[in-house]
Amino acid sequence: MTKFIIKKLLIMTLTVFLISLAVFFIITLPPGDFMTNYVGRMLAAGERVNQEEIDALRRTYALDQPFFVQFWSWFSRIILKGDFGYSFSLSMPVTAVIKAYIGPTMALSITTMIFTYLIAIPVGIYSAVHQYSFGDYLFTTVCFLGQAVPNFLMAILLMFIAFRMTGDTMLGLFSPKYQNAPWSWEKVLDLLKHCIIPVLVIGLNNTCGLIRTMRSQMLDELNKNYVMTGKAKGMKAAAIRYKYCVRAAVNPIASSIGWSLVNIFTGTTITAIVLNLPSMGTVMYNALINQDMYLAGSWLFLMAIATVIGTFISDVLLAWLDPRARKEYLKG
């Protein structure tokens, strides 16, 4: 197992380096650079600027350097100093931007993730055990609807319903009244109210997929011979289900937990924009639009790391949950 983990870690390091090279290349692909954008905005605001000044600014930001020089200066600073560089558009270190947004993003994502698993696994089990019952059909219908309706549309629908019912669209995480108020019981209640739509919207889509996976996996397991053997040996149905079937059926879900890690860091960008949530996703989106390359680059870099770590966690989880997988890994 140790050998397996070391091997995985080495591959991870190489993957992260290659991904970071690729993301840096991609963000420098569009025509122009941050300075073009910056100067464009300055001109739109009625400021004056001439080519000499633009060139001087480019030198200041090292935008006149070749690609690999720019990449290496950025990448080496991250590795050696933990310095992600400066955000051009916000005029502050990228780490400060991340620090400002990581809290709300993670709080929202983790709440949503817990919501997702708390609902998906029991409902999946229920649907499998009570196959073709009224409840199963009901959940199936909801699931198909949840998967078919795009997140942002669902968000708009729920906002409309909220507006008709309460006179407020429930945008953001707080009402204007509580936005800057000190923490109080009312503010917590207000936050919870505002969390309903984001959690439902972001959670529902994932939940529906997970319910379907859980249901089909459970059905597969319930029809396997070991279940029949267990029954023949006089084991209780519930014990077979929860000790053996669920453990086996939950494998694909465990292997997908790793992927959720990326979502935890990014939030769901489009939904976050529609619901005006202070998530890292929206910051990333603006960084890409503004060609704020160190912010965007750091962002994609973090996502790459999250994906790689997520995959690693999934592999380890799977090896731990499933003796067969463990055996395969050890062989490999």
Partner 1 sequence: MYKRFALLFLTLCMVMSVMAGAVCADTGKEAPMLAEQVAAGTLPPLEDRLPVEADVYVETEYTPEETPSYGGTIRTNNGGMWYFGPNAEEPLFRLLDDGTVEQNVAKSYDLSDDGLVYTIHLREGMKWSDGTPFTATDCVYYYNYVLVTDVDNETGKVTKSNAGRYYNWYMTADENGVMRPAQVRYVDDQTFTITLYSPKPTLLQAIAIDNKWMFCPKEWYKDIMVNDASAAHWSGESDLKLIGGEGLPTITEEQALANALAKSELYNFENAAKLGDQLGYRYWQYAGRPTLRPWNIVSPLTDQTLVFVRNPYYWKVDAEGRQLPYIDTFEYVSMDASLYAQEKIAGNLDLVRFDAADFPIYKSSEAIGNYTVYTDIIPSWANVSFEFNQGYKDPQYRELFANLDFRHAVSIAVDREEVNEILYNGMMTPAQFAPAAGTAEYIEGGPEKWIELNVDEANALLDGIEGISTERNSDGYRTFVGGEHDGQAITIEFETRADAPNDAQLVALLAKYFKPLGLQIVESNNTDNNARNEKYYAGDVYMAAVNSSSGSFNVMLRPDAVAANRNNCAFIGKYGLEHADAMTPEPGSAMEEMVNATKALISASKLEDMQAAAARIVKSHYDNTWVIGILASNKTFDAVANRVHNYRDGFVSCDELRFLGNTRPYTWFIQD
Out of 1, 6, 22, 32, the residue judged to bind partner 1 by CB under 8 A? 32
CA 146 to chain centre: 18
Please list, residue by residue across 42-69, b when 16 or more beta carbons sit within 10 angstroms of its beta carbon and e when fewer do.
eeeeeeeeeeeebeebbeebebeeeeee
Judged by beta carbon, residue 90 or residue 142, the one nearer partner 1 is 90
Q: Candidates 101, 299, 301, 329: give the one binding partner 1 (CB under 8 A).
A: 101
Q: What is the DSSP letter of 182?
A: P
Task: Look up residue 53 and give its two tokens.
Answer: 């000044």
Q: Rule CB under 8 A: is residue 191 a binding residue for partner 1?
A: no
- For partner 1 (CB under 8 A), the number of binding residues is 47
3-state secondary structure of 45: coil
Give the Cα-Cα-Cα angle 117, 121, 127 (nearest 5 degrees).
Answer: 145
- 2 lines the binding site for partner 1 (CB under 8 A): no
Residues 6+ apart with CB under 8 A from 46: none
Q: Does 76 bind partner 1 (CB under 8 A)?
A: no
Q: Which residues is 292 bridged to in the sheet? A: none
Using the rule CB under 8 A, is 186 a contact of partner 1? no
The least distance separating partner 1 from the CB of residue 40, rounded to whole angstroms, comes to 4
Q: Which of 6, 18, 40, 131 binds partner 1 (CB under 8 A)?
A: 40
By CB under 8 A, residue 44 contacts partner 1: yes
The DSSP element (H or E) to which 89 belongs, if any, is none
Least distance to partner 1, CB of residue 160, Å: 9
Nearer to partner 1, 194 or 241 (CB): 194
Scan for tokens 């062989």, then name that residue.
331
Strand partners, 93: 86
CB 258 within 8 Å of CB 314: yes
- 82 is a site residue for partner 1 (CB under 8 A): no
Token pair for residue 296?
A: 């965007």
Q: Residue 87 forms beta bridges with which residues?
A: 92
Contact between residue 78 and residue 84 where contact means Cβ atoms under 8 Å apart: yes
Cβ closer to partner 1: 50 or 225? Answer: 50
d(CA 139, CA 207): 11
User: Which one, 16 or 49, has the nearer CB to partner 1?
Assistant: 49
C-beta separation of 230 from 240 below 8 A? yes
Site for partner 1, residues 50 to 69, rule: CB under 8 A = 50-54, 60
Out of 10, 11, 96, 153, name the contact with partner 1 by CB under 8 A: 96
Q: In the complex with partner 1, which residue's Cβ is closer, 124 or 278?
A: 278
Site string for partner 1, 155-184 (x = CB under 8 A): ----x---x---xxx-xx---x--xx----
Nearest distance, CB of residue 168 and partner 1, angstroms = 6
Helices marked H in 268-292? 269-274, 280-289
276 makes contact with partner 1 (CB under 8 A): yes
Beta carbon nearer to partner 1, 103 or 135:
103
Residue 289 in the binding site for partner 1 (CB under 8 A)? yes
Q: Closest by alpha carbon to 214, among 294, 123, 134?
A: 123
Q: Give yes or no for residue 288 binding partner 1 (CB under 8 A).
A: no
Contact residues for partner 1, defined by CB under 8 A:
30-33, 36-37, 39-41, 43-54, 60, 86, 90-93, 96-97, 100-101, 159, 163, 167-169, 171-172, 176, 179-180, 273-274, 276, 278, 289, 291
